[in-house]
């Protein structure tokens, strides 16, 4: 059961809404509600759910050979950093369903009429910068760990290098550790900020600050949520990113309901 934090606590800031503490049962309920929304609007797969797999395929193709090959995994993994932007239309569909209004996938474009569109774009650009920073960091990690080895000529050769050399094992450990930090940063900044901007015309600072407070109020639950998101995205990438056509809308709907559980409505 979600509980409202005491209004006088530091989490109930004067320049932002009150956030609640939640439990693992709230996460389960958010996922169930997200599934119900997904089942209620299956036509979204025809458009919204296909965009993300196509982006993944393009990223994989761009890094399938030559100097970009070492960035294949960082590019695919880094797509999750842009997930909150890709899910904007999904949040809007859940918001309309919550209000008892008729919904079709065309309603996802209602985001473009949001009073907070400028702020949403600013937050999206922030995520783009974080994504580029992640790719730069991944390239630096590769040079630090495997820069002395010959450049692989194929994906198979690259996989053999990673799995059969000490440098490759160092790359796996260090690269995933750095990637975890970037994923944690994005989760902290955006877990409730994008849904909030769809519902309220608030500043970027208030939206991000509320998201940070929500994570700090619920470190355990948010850690589990991050693991759930990572696991589902991993499953969605198999095979060839096709599963993301289901995973992305499902997570988008569930994130809207998580926002409802964490942030007190005005």
Q: What is the residue-averaged pLDDT of the chain?
A: 87
Residues 189-215, mean pLDDT to the nearest whole number: 96
What pLDDT shows up at residue 11? 46
CA angle 52, 56, 57 (to 5 degrees): 120
CA 247 – CA 244 distance, rounded (Å): 5
What is Dmax (Cα atoms) for the chain? Answer: 60
Residue 196 and residue 262 in contact, taking contact as beta carbons nearer than 8 Å: no
Instruction: Tell me the pLDDT tens digit for each residue of 23-68.
Output: 999 999 999 999 999 998 876 666 666 666 777 676 666 666 667 7
H-type alpha helices, 147-218: 155-164, 166-190, 193-199, 204-217
Q: Could you tell me which residues are beta bridge partners of residue 4?
A: 20
**Residues 119-125: contacts with CB under 8 Å, at least 24 apart:** 119/197, 119/202, 119/203, 119/204, 119/207, 120/88, 120/194, 120/197, 120/198, 122/204, 123/189, 123/190, 123/193, 123/194, 123/197, 123/204, 123/207, 123/208, 124/85
What pLDDT shows up at residue 244? 82
What pLDDT shows up at residue 5? 47
106, two tokens: 């065309």
The pLDDT > 70 percentage for the chain reads 86
Instruction: Tell me the pLDDT tens digit for each residue of 58-88.
Output: 666 666 666 778 888 888 788 788 889 989 9
The pLDDT > 90 percentage for the chain reads 61
Cis peptide before 191 (omega within 30 of 0): no
CA 144 – CA 121 distance, rounded (Å): 35
Instruction: Tell me the pLDDT tens digit for each residue of 151-166.
Output: 887 778 888 899 999 9
pLDDT of residue 97 exceeding 70, the answer is yes
CA 254 – CA 262 distance, rounded (Å): 12
Q: Which of 201, 239, 218, 236 is nearest to 83 (CA)?
A: 236
Residues 242-249, mean pLDDT to the nearest whole number: 84
Cβ-Cβ contacts under 8 Å for 68 (sequence gap 6 or more):
62
């Amino acid at each position: 059961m979600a509980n409202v934090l005491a209004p006088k606590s530091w989490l109930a800031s004067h320049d932002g809404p009150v956030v609640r503490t939640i439990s693992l049962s709230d996460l389960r309920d958010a996922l169930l509600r997200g599934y119900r929304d997904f089942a209620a609007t299956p036509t979204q797969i025809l458009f919204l759910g296909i965009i993300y797999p196509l982006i993944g395929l393009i990223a994989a193709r761009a890094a399938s050979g030559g100097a970009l090959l070492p960035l294949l995994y960082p590019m695919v993994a880094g797509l999750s950093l842009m997930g909150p932007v890709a899910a904007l239309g999904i949040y809007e569909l859940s918001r309309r369903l919550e209000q008892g209004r008729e919904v079709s996938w065309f309603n996802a474009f209602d985001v473009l009429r949001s009073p907070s569109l400028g702020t949403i774009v600013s937050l999206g650009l922030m995520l783009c910068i974080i994504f580029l920073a992640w790719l730069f960091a991944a390239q630096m990690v590769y040079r630090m760990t495997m820069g002395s080895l010959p450049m692989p000529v194929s994906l198979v050769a690259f996989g053999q290098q990673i799995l059969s050399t000490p440098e490759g094992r160092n790359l796996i450990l260090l690269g995933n550790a750095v990637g975890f930090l970037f994923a944690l940063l994005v989760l902290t900044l955006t877990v409730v900020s994008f849904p909030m901007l769809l519902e309220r015309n608030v500043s970027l600072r208030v939206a991000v600050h509320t998201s940070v407070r929500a994570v700090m109020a619920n470190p355990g639950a948010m850690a589990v949520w991050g693991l759930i998101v990572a696991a589902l995205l991993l499953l969605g990438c198999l095979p060839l990113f096709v599963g993301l056509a289901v995973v992305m809308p499902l997570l988008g709907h569930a994130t809207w309901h998580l926002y409802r559980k964490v942030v007190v409505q005005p």
